[in-house]
Amino acid sequence: MEESNSKPRSKEFEKIPVTKVQRATKFVGTGVKIGSNYLKHYAKKLVNPDLTKEQLHEDNARDIYRSLSELKGSALKVAQMLSMDKNLLPAAYQQQFAMAQYSAPPLSFPLVVRTFQKNFDKTPEQIFDTFSRNASNAASMGQVHKATLNGKQLAVKIQYPGIADSVKSDLAMVKPIALSMFKLNPVEYDEYMKEVEMRMMEETDYVLELERSVDISTQSAHIPHLHFAKYYPELSCSKILTMDWMEGRPMGDVKTAELPGNKNQEIGQALWDFYDFQIHQLKAVHADPHPGNFIITPDHQLGIIDFGCVKVIPEAFYDTYFQLLDPHLLKDEERTTALFYKLRFIHEDDSPEEKKLFIEIFSKLVELLARPFAAETFDFSDRSYFEEVYRFGEEVSALKPLRESKKVRGVRDALYINRTYFGLYNMLHELKAKVRTGGS
């Protein structure tokens, strides 16, 4: 696992608030700052009625990100997830929260040493021949250090202290911010956060991540232009994960113009084939598809890193959900309606007006999701497609009946699958890749 060392060094944290009281105090302090930002904004608006909320968003995004960066863990992970939804957040939040993908402030070295002593009864220097004091990258749940042992270059991922114990309480505390500032539906938030909590608890179990990393990388090794690290169980535990160091640059740092020939097409096809194989053959998928989890190697292969977030796809859900990708589905009204009931897009006790509205909304969403499968190939460089996706997303997020619905619209298992496709499509767009999707 590797990330670029060229990023500016962030301020290191000497400690993380661990107890519920410490973390709650931090959230309250953040709320006070946000309240102060609103007061400043409305005071200025009295003088200048034409003032937009741009500065307010920038101030709030900065203060929230700073607070979550110090807390680390699930709260920062939620910010990262929100940054991927361009239909939900103003640009200021997207830019700040996206830093959680691979640029969060790291922990200081003494805290890293303490984690090793607690889990191995040894310091990093007693285990490895060399071990970098500075983190090569830091994200929401852990950070990576470079090490060597017996001539091999290694990447060592260390989980932040107290993260596993704070997942549930953190998600509860971040709820008011998410509901009030981002206008999320409270019913859906409660339902989907149960799924988020399960995935995040899995992300704190590095023994499980080790098992899944080896399994998925081994079974996917036949796909051309992919590169996986070797993992080392004897140098890993529930809070520390050791693997080969992979040279390369984060995908988000590599401009398509920098790639020679048709390498962007090869990488894009490899990315598509990797996800297609996981979803339809393994029924388990790397469900954290953002540019911080992929690197471009010096020989222009796609390096896959960080299998912390994996969604295992239940068979019954698979059989229902993936009918949505059939380009012919929406031509059959009876089949579409029956499927929408199964997936809880509509409910039996909805009013006729609600059924009509939600069938229209989800039919359009399904058409957009399935469009890449409507032909043998799809050009993800097509800006008009993504503009249509974002425009429709903005329209839907503003719909009061959807935002204030007392019923969950969708099944919990779909949350990470939708997120996976959204992330995959966006990465392919950044690569300007024309991909063989195998559609009809």
- Through-space distance between the first and last CA atoms of the chain, rounded to whole angstroms: 37
Torsions phi, psi of 242, nearest 5? -115, 135
Q: SS3 for 346?
A: coil
Enumerate the H helices of 143-255 as residue ranges.
163-182, 186-203, 206-219
Is residue 80 within 8 A of residue 140, CB to CB? The reply is: yes
pLDDT below 50 — which residues of the chain?
Answer: 1-10, 13, 18, 21, 27-28, 32, 41-42, 83-84, 86-89, 92-93, 100-102
Strands 284-286 and 294-296: unpaired
Distance CA 352, CA 348 (A): 10
Predicted pLDDT of residue 9:
43
State whether residue 155 is helix, strand or coil: strand
Q: Which pair of tokens denotes residue 312? A: 């295992």
Q: Retrieve residue 296's tokens.
A: 């471009």
Q: Give, in degrees to the nearest 5, the angle at Cα 189 between 188 and 191.
A: 65
Looking at this protein, which amino acid is placed at residue 216?
I
Residue 38 identity: Y
Residue 5: partners with Cβ closer than 8 Å, 6 or more residues away: 136
Tokens found for residue 154: 């290694």
Contact 309, 420 (CB under 8 A): no
pLDDT at 145: 95
Asked if residues 325 and 373 have their Cβ atoms less than 8 Å apart, the reply is yes
Which pLDDT score, from 0 to 100, does residue 198 have? 87
* Per-residue pLDDT reduced to its tens digit, 413-422: 998 898 899 8
Domain segments of the chain as ranges? 1-204, 315-412
On the 0-12 / 13-18 / 19+ scale of CB atoms within 10 A, 248 is buried
Report d(CA 199, CA 188) in Å as an integer.
Answer: 17
Question: What gap in Å lies between CA 246 and CA 351, rounded to an integer?
Answer: 55
Q: How many residues does the chain have?
A: 440
Say what the pLDDT of residue 401 is: 81
What is the three-class DSSP state of 148? strand
pLDDT at 168: 75
**70 close to 17: Cβ distance less than 8 angstroms:** yes
Please, which residues have CB within 8 angstroms of residue 295's CB and are 6 or more apart in sequence? Answer: 2, 3, 246, 248, 249, 250, 251, 302, 303, 305
Question: Residue 415's pLDDT is what?
Answer: 86
Enter the pTM of the model. 0.78
**CB-neighbour burial class of residue 285 (10 A; exposed 0-12, middle 13-18, buried 19+):** buried
